[in-house]
Amino acid sequence: GAQICECHECFTGPDCAVPIPDCAADADSGDPQLFEDYWRRHPEMGTVVTPGWYRMGYQIRDGQSMNFLNNALEAAIQELHALTGNAVTEGRYIVLGTGSMQLINAAVHSLALQQPNVSNVVALAPYYGAYELQTKIFSTANYRWAGEPERSSSTSLNGGPVIELIASPNNPTATIQEVPSNTSGVVVYDHAYYWPHLTAITKAVDNDIMLFTLSKITGHAGTRIGWAIVKDLDLSVKMMNYVFLNTLGVSHDSQLRATQLLHSVVKSYTRPTMSPEKGIFHYGHEVLLARWARLEAIFSKSSRFSVQHIETQHCSFFGKKSAPSPGYAWVYCERDEDVDCSEVMLRANITGRAGMFFGSSNRYVRLTLLRRQTNFENLAAHLSVLVSQG
Ligand code: PMP
């Protein structure tokens, strides 16, 4: 059949085994390629064969409602949340999206429709940059980007309703975030990173609007599957309508693949014949713990750079204390003259994402830890050289 072969970054030659000398370390994108190795080692868990006639149509059944969510996928999603204990799904509506990316704006758009006045969309910096970029480009007569929330005042921005976007754990800092209880606006909780390999699970989150994504669980970002867990029926219908009008549903091929992947994850932990150490959360946790420890060791020798501090907490899923295992390093340049930290990295042949993308200062740069091992080794090598230069 058709075979598409491309070497991974920094490798060349007929077998892609020849390293390219002095290859730059690309630590920009959050593509979660670290899981590729896991799926290569467990082909029986991830492989899907799709017959030509499988779910060719838009709808699953004739006359079906707007929600294009496959029942088996919905069950797998619920089982996975139950297994990890990270979120409440009972009595909630699940809205499927083409990645959680689509659902961020689906939520903003739908929440704004529920308000009589123009909504102000806010996020506390540093925030995931797509919140701002999406809101600005999709902004309608019903909502606009309004920057950071006004925590101190009791009145909302311009007196209008407020929609707050908040990632917990945060991208880029991995901080667990909650809005103060006296916040007047509605909050969209983006829990893309609230999984045991990335953070300690301390409770089953039970917020009104919660976003999750396949991308950071199994690494299948290209499959483009995300879901929202929503308490309010009217909001869930509005969000489904948004997905319907925007992409006319969500790829059935992708749903089938996601079902297989999530089922396998659940089975790997629930079948008594399987050892939990073979599960993807154990794998991801081990890899990311090691990477963070390595990174901290490198930066501990430096007075020029610092990285964020992350608390060690008890994780209910692993049943023990969980040292930090974040997806990103949020690096700060300490020297007065280093006003652009990503520029400093670039001169050391490291590409990161500038602080400005996160509504923050360019004294910060985000480096991804989610990519292949060879990518991380290259990053660590370049960082060690940079730090050793004083
Ligand atoms: N939210 C956050 C906080 C993210 O970091 C990402 C991916 N980088 C997304 C949402 C979008 O993920 P996806 O569309 O792949 O579900």
Local confidence band at 19 (pLDDT 50, 70, 90 cut-offs): confident
Local confidence band at 3 (pLDDT 50, 70, 90 cut-offs): low
Last residue of a domain, one of 242, 269, 296: 269
Measured distance CA(195)–CA(211) in Å, rounded: 12
Report angle CA 373, 378, 380 to the nearest 5 degrees. 95
Same structural domain for residues 235 and 159? yes
Report whether 351 contacts 367 (CB < 8 A).
Answer: no
Q: Is 56 within the bounds of a domain? A: no
Q: Which of 168, 216, 250 to mutate to test the pocket of ligand 1 (most atoms within 8 A of CB)?
A: 216
- Give the list of residues 6+ apart from residue 41 with CB closer than 8 angstroms, or none: none
Same structural domain for residues 334 and 372? yes
Same structural domain for residues 261 and 294? no
Check whether 1 has a pLDDT greater than 50.
no
Measured distance CA(186)–CA(231) in Å, rounded: 13
Q: Which atom of ligand 1 is found nearest the CA of 193?
A: 3
Same structural domain for residues 172 and 305? no
Same structural domain for residues 235 and 317? no
> Range with the lowest mean pLDDT among 6-15, 38-47, 230-239, 348-357?
6-15
Check whether 379 has a pLDDT greater than 70.
yes
Same structural domain for residues 344 and 363? yes
167 lines ligand 1 (CB under 6 A): yes
368 lines ligand 1 (CB under 6 A): no
Same structural domain for residues 136 and 219? yes
Report angle CA 140, 141, 144 to the nearest 5 degrees. 65
Domain range for 190: 71-269
The fraction of the chain above a pLDDT of 90, given in percent, is 85
Cβ atoms within 10 Å, residue 375: 22
| Distance between Cα 230 and ligand 1 center (Å) | 18
Q: What is the dihedral of CA 60, 66, 72, 74, to 10 degrees?
A: 170
Measured distance CA(92)–CA(250) in Å, rounded: 20
Same structural domain for residues 240 and 290? no
Q: So what's the pLDDT on residue 15?
A: 87
From its phi and psi, is residue 80 left (phi > 0), alpha (psi between -120 and 50) or beta?
alpha
Last residue of a domain, one of 241, 269, 297: 269
Q: Which of 101, 257, 261, 330 to mutate to test the pocket of ligand 1 (most atoms within 8 A of CB)?
A: 101
Local confidence band at 273 (pLDDT 50, 70, 90 cut-offs): confident
Phi, psi for 141 (deg, rounded to 5):
-65, -15
Find the mean pLDDT for residues 164-181. 96
Q: Is 358 within the bounds of a domain? A: yes
| Distance between Cα 95 and ligand 1 center (Å) | 16
Tally of structural domains, the chain = 2
Q: Residue 95 belongs to a domain with what CATH number? A: 3.40.640.10
Same structural domain for residues 224 and 178? yes
Local confidence band at 5 (pLDDT 50, 70, 90 cut-offs): low
Q: So what's the pLDDT on residue 272?
A: 73
269 lines ligand 1 (CB under 6 A): no
Q: Of residues 79 and 155, which shows the higher confidence score?
A: 79
Q: Residue 32 belongs to a domain with what CATH number? A: 3.90.1150.10
Cβ atoms within 10 Å, residue 141: 7
Check whether 156 has a pLDDT greater than 70.
no
Q: So what's the pLDDT on residue 92?
A: 97
Measured distance CA(125)–CA(113) in Å, rounded: 26
100 lines ligand 1 (CB under 6 A): yes
Q: Which atom of ligand 1 is found nearest the CA of 100?
A: 16
Residue type, 334: E
Last residue of a domain, one of 249, 269, 289: 269
Q: So what's the pLDDT on residue 44?
A: 92
Q: Is 58 within the bounds of a domain? A: no
Same structural domain for residues 146 and 238? yes
Same structural domain for residues 286 and 262? no
Find the mean pLDDT for residues 235-248. 96
Q: Which atom of ligand 1 is found nearest the CA of 128?
A: 3
Q: Is 205 within the bounds of a domain? A: yes
Q: So what's the pLDDT on residue 295?
A: 98
pLDDT, tens digit, 9 for 90 and up, residues 300-349 = 999 999 999 999 999 999 999 999 999 999 999 999 999 999 999 999 99
Closest CA to 134 of 99, 169, 186, 93: 99
Q: Is 383 within the bounds of a domain? A: yes
Q: Is 61 within the bounds of a domain? A: no
Check whether 2 has a pLDDT greater than 60.
no
Question: pTM of the entire structure?
Answer: 0.95
Q: Is 2 within the bounds of a domain? A: no
Find the mean pLDDT for residues 75-85. 98
Measured distance CA(91)–CA(231) in Å, rounded: 8
Same structural domain for residues 148 and 260? yes
Q: Of residues 103 and 22, which shows the higher confidence score?
A: 103
Q: Is 339 within the bounds of a domain? A: yes
| Distance between Cα 155 and ligand 1 center (Å) | 31
